[in-house]
Amino acid sequence: MKVLVLAGGNSAERNVSLQSGSTVALALTFTGKYIADLRDPAEFNLLTSDCSQWDIAFPMVHGTGGEDGVLQRQLGRIGLMYVGSNAEASELTFDKIRTNQLLSQHGITVPPEIVLQKNDMAADNHNAIIKLGLPVVVKPPRQGSSIGVSIVQTAEQIAAALSLAFEYDEECLVEQYIDGAEVTVTVIDGKAYPAIEIRPATEWYDYDSKYADNRTQYIIDTDNTFQTASDIAVKACEICGVTGIARVDFRIDTLGGTYLLEVNTIPGMTSHSLVPKSAAAAGLSMSDLCDLAIQNRLQRLP
């Protein structure tokens, strides 16, 4: 079976995407069941190319152009079946503001938040954050890999945090910082895999902690301490219409309160990434994981 692995693109997560795509292509090749071709949408136009040679696509484009429904709509237009969430679910979950609103309506807890606009008065935005209460997490609502994210501890840090977030979006999502454990849950077509607690060596789980710092600790939840998070992750994916491989991130406070942070429809598949670690804890190799995603998609035909 011939698989088109799409990775790269033009987003701020391009480099991570290229690593993820290379890992997936190699894993599929190792199964002996697939011929995997890696293409970069930044250099390869799906709409003007002959894609009839491939049986299925495996999108690994992180960020804008990949997780926001754009790529999925292109694949739909050319009639090439693909692994993962459809365009509507991708577009929804890429927008943390819309996702939080929907999940809150269904009883899922997210951190207390406010949404700020780039063209609003700086003083008004500053005062709104102070009213929400420090510390807060300031983030662009349509980015990933902690790009543009800041943890603000003092009033003096607000201006720089907003400036950074507004480099990536016209809106800014500001959430109360939840003190406690950082936990992530992999969900593959409605099934939760072992939760992982993340313990970065630095102040928080930033870009370097995710992709470069070998001191970051990943603790597999072998005793179901975070079963509540796993249950919520499955429910959140169902509410949002998410299929394929997904990763749902949480903060668990010191009293056990579980706060959903985001739903990722094309999570990283690098050597530092969380989904492969969770799958390995369940006995799945990278090749097993990628094969499972394709086989699950084939069972959902058409």
* Rounded (10°) angle between helices 96-105 and 87-94: 100
Catalytic residue among 91, 249, 287, 297: 249
Per-residue DSSP letter, 6: E
* Distinct helix (H) and strand (E) counts, the chain: 10, 13
- Active-site residue identified among 34, 168, 193, 211: 211
Looking at the DSSP bridge assignments, the partners of residue 175 are 113, 137
Of the residues 268, 273, 287, 297, which is catalytic? 268
Active site residue 37: no
Tokens found for residue 153? 């501890």
Catalytic, out of 95, 175, 262, 291: 262
Catalytic residue among 11, 100, 125, 145: 145
- Catalytic residue check, 264: yes
The reply to whether 211 belongs to the active site is yes
Of 150, 264, 278, 287, which is the active-site residue? Answer: 264
**Given the residues 39, 142, 247, 251, the one annotated as active site:** 247
Picking from 244, 281, 289, 283, the residue whose alpha carbon sits closest to that of residue 24 is 289
Among left, alpha and beta (phi > 0; psi -120 to 50; other), residue 298 is alpha
13 is catalytic: yes
Is 34 considered catalytic here? no
* Token reading at 107: 């009883």
Catalytic residues: 13, 145, 211, 247, 249, 262, 264, 268
